[in-house]
């Protein structure tokens, strides 16, 4: 096979000073959001009606949209940022005091915990709506679409399929009564990009069987492939819509040994196109976590994720190359980028196991997609694993009169029992579960130039794939955030 050449990666960006700021902090102020009909401040979001509704007179309010963002992503140039993504001021006070318009009392809101509170004296609801500098108020919110009882069913169903090896204490204590509706903070990124990729692609021209002699001189059959190799080049334009990235350090840390945060990542994507302008009223009855990440912390990661989306989108134009493509040059240019912050809704079950590991079962409160981890009864799992192995040992014992059979059976038994162990752990823990942003992020691709020149054919290859194929590689997932 060809030598493994270094992939030249170039990410070019427009100069930083061209940041265009979109002010989303308009027509909205802190205090009571009073119903224009009856003056009540008790206005909350109704899942069934998909509207904010006054709880006294039932007047319904249409959700608002934010203005000033570029909708035709082909027009994006330079960097656009909303006021809801501005850098967090570390000294900003989380505790804010508002004067109640109902009775004049002072109401304290700790924005670390909630962005609204009820006045103790007159029961008016007061809200923080304007974008304070501590990251607690985003541009957009995607309201809950799934009711608690539906989320409970999803979680119960998920756990019921993971019973036999579940930890006994967990089984005894499991209840979905106190699951929490949480708004987690995310950054949504739109981008207008172009690429010039060049490399070598392979196509299986023939698949056939040959007879070979092995080291002992015995005849063996082997399937081999003749692979046509091509010089491949693609120039393309791509717009990427709402690449979604967690914007809290806690949720970005998907390899945390004490929490199974990766399952929260895995329930993406959300239907972010249905986000509406943020108002604290949407959060009544739910919990929320504030953003603690600035753009500068994740910009490098995001740029690589955008390139991952581009690389994978291009595969739709490379179906002929069923042996893969090895890109030697990836010139990926981000011509325009637009950042928005949003709260997205999650139903969350959490459970701390006896080893102090926090397990989550998370439900996407829009799509219902569910992922989780269930604490295991490792004693039971090891017992069954060892029993499987012992079973193979017994079979090996019965085969003692045949040359190498006992050793082969023992090795097979070891492999089978360890695979069994691995599959069960993976089913209960779901450590590998992740959001496949490179495939699931909305995009529009236009290929503007193609080169496909046949160079030569490699015969009798033992694999149907070329060794250096990298057209399905991802890099953004493995790029750490900057402190």
Cβ atoms of 358 and 343 within 8 Å: the answer is no
Residue 56 binding Zn ion, by CB under 5 A: yes
Size of the site for Zn ion (CB under 5 A): 16
Nearer to Zn ion, 106 or 177 (CB): 106
Question: Which residue, 122 or 399, is less far from Zn ion as judged by CB?
Answer: 122
Give the whole-angstrom CA distance, residue 434 versus residue 162.
19
Nearer to Zn ion, 119 or 240 (CB): 119
Residue 176 in contact with Zn ion, rule: CB under 5 A: no
| Region binding Zn ion by CB under 5 A among candidate stretches 14-22, 37-45, 332-340, 377-385 | 37-45
Q: Is 108 in the site for Zn ion (CB under 5 A)?
A: no
Note whether 159 binds Zn ion by CB under 5 A.
Answer: no
Instruction: Report the alpha-carbon distance of residue 190 to residue 15 in Å, rounded.
Output: 18
Instruction: Work out which of 22, 24, 33, 40 binds Zn ion, going by CB under 5 A.
Output: 40
Closest CA relative to residue 472, chosen from 309, 317, 263: 309
Tell me: does residue 46 bind Zn ion (CB under 5 A). Answer: no
**Least distance in Å: CB of 374 to Zn ion?**
45
Question: Does residue 117 interact with Zn ion by CB under 5 A?
Answer: no
Among 102, 135, 413, 468, binds Zn ion (CB under 5 A): 102
Q: Minimum distance from CB of 102 to Zn ion (Å)? A: 4
| Residue among 2, 37, 60, 222 that touches Zn ion (CB under 5 A) | 37
Q: Which stretch binds Zn ion (CB under 5 A): 52-60, 82-90, 384-392, 427-435?
A: 52-60
**3-state secondary structure string across the chain:** CCCCCCCEEEEEECCHHHCEEECCCCCCCCECCCCCCCCCCCEEEECCCCEEEECCCCCEECCCCCCCCCCCHHHCCEEEEEHHHCCCCCCCCCEEEEECCCCCCEEEEECCCCCEEECCCCCCEEECCCCCCCCCCCCEECCCCCCHHHHHHHHHHHHHCCCCCECHHHHHHCCCCCCEEEEEEEEEEEEEEEEEEEEEEEEEEEEEEEEEECCCCCEEEEEEEEEEEEEEEEEEEEEEEEEEEECCHHHHCCCCCCECCHHHHHCCCCCHHHCEECCHHHHCCCEECCCCCCHHHHHHHHHHHHHHHHHHHHHHHCCCCCCEEEEEEEEEEEEEEEEEEEEEEEEEEEEECCCCCEEEEEEECCCCCEEECCCECHHHHHHHHHHHHHHHHHHHHHCCCCCCHHHHHHHHHHHHHHHHHHHHHHHHHCCCCCCCHHHHCEEEEEEEEEEEEEEEEEEEECCCCCCCCCCCCCCHHHCCCCC
Nearest distance from residue 177's CB to Zn ion, in Å? 32
Of 105 and 381, CB closest to Zn ion: 105
The residue from 22, 85, 100, 374 that contacts Zn ion (CB under 5 A) is 100
Among 22, 52, 54, 313, contact with Zn ion (rule: CB under 5 A): 54
Shortest Å, Cβ 105 to Zn ion: 5
Question: Least Å distance between CB 63 and Zn ion?
Answer: 17
User: Counting contacts by CB under 5 A, is residue 121 touching Zn ion?
Assistant: yes
Q: CB of 30: closest distance to Zn ion in angstroms?
A: 14
Does 31 interact with Zn ion (rule: CB under 5 A)?
Answer: no
Select from 23-31, 38-46, 386-394, 455-463 the region that touches Zn ion (CB under 5 A): 38-46
Q: Is 59 in the site for Zn ion (CB under 5 A)?
A: yes
Among 82, 115, 124, 430, binds Zn ion (CB under 5 A): 124
**Of 114, 122, 224, 357, the one binding Zn ion by CB under 5 A:** 122
Our CB check for Zn ion shows the closer of 38 and 418 to be 38
Smallest separation, CB 57 to Zn ion (Å): 3
Least separation, in Å, of the C-beta of 124 and Zn ion? 5
Interacting residues with Zn ion (CB under 5 A)? 35, 37-38, 40, 54, 56-57, 59, 100, 102-103, 105, 119, 121-122, 124
């Amino acid at each position: 096979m060809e030598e493994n050449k270094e992939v030249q990666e170039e990410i070019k960006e427009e100069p930083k000073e061209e940041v265009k700021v979109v002010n989303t902090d308009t027509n909205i102020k802190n205090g009571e959001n009073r119903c224009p009909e009856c003056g009540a401040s008790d206005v909350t979001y109704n899942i069934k009606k998909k509207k904010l509704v006054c709880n006294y007179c039932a007047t319904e309010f249409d959700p608002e949209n934010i203005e000033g963002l570029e909708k035709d992503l082909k027009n994006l140039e330079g960097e656009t940022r909303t006021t809801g993504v501005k850098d967090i001021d570390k000294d900003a006070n989380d505790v804010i005091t508002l004067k109640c318009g109902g009775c004049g009392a002072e109401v304290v809101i700790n924005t670390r915990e909630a962005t609204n509170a009820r006045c103790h004296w007159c029961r008016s609801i007061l809200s923080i709506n304007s974008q304070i500098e501590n990251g607690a108020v985003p541009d957009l919110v995607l309201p809950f679409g799934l009711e608690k009882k539906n989320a409970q069913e999803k979680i119960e169903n998920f756990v019921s399929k993971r019973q036999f090896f579940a930890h006994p204490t967990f089984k005894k204590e499991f209840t979905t009564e106190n699951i929490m509706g949480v708004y987690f903070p995310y950054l949504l990124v739109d981008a207008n990009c172009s690429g010039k990729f060049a490399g070598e692609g392979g196509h299986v021209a023939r698949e056939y069987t040959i007879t070979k002699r092995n080291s002992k001189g015995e005849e063996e059959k082997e399937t081999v492939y003749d692979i046509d190799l091509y010089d491949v080049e693609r120039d393309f334009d791509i717009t990427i819509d709402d690449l979604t990235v967690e914007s809290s350090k806690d949720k970005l840390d998907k390899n945390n040994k004490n929490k199974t945060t990766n399952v929260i990542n895995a329930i993406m994507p959300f239907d972010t196109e249905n986000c509406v302008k943020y108002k604290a009223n949407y959060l009544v009855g739910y919990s929320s976590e504030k953003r603690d990440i600035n753009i500068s912390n994740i910009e490098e990661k995001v740029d690589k994720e955008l390139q991952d989306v581009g690389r994978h989108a291009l595969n739709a134009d490379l179906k002929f190359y069923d042996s893969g493509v090895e890109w030697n040059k990836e010139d990926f240019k981000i011509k325009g980028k637009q950042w928005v912050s949003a709260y997205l809704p999650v139903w969350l079950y959490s459970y701390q196991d006896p080893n102090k590991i926090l397990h989550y079962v998370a439900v996407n409160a829009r799509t219902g997609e569910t992922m989780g981890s269930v604490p295991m009864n490792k004693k039971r799992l090891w017992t069954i694993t060892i029993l499987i192995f012992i079973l193979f040992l017994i079979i090996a014992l019965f085969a003692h009169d045949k040359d190498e059979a006992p050793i082969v059976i023992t090795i097979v038994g070891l492999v089978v029992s360890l695979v069994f162990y691995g599959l069960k752990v993976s089913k209960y823990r779901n450590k590998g579960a992740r959001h496949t942003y490179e495939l699931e992020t909305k995009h529009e691709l236009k290929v503007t130039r193609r080169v496909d020149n046949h160079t030569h054919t490699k015969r009798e290859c033992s694999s149907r794939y070329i060794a250096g194929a990298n057209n399905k590689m991802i890099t953004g997932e493995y790029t750490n955030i900057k402190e």
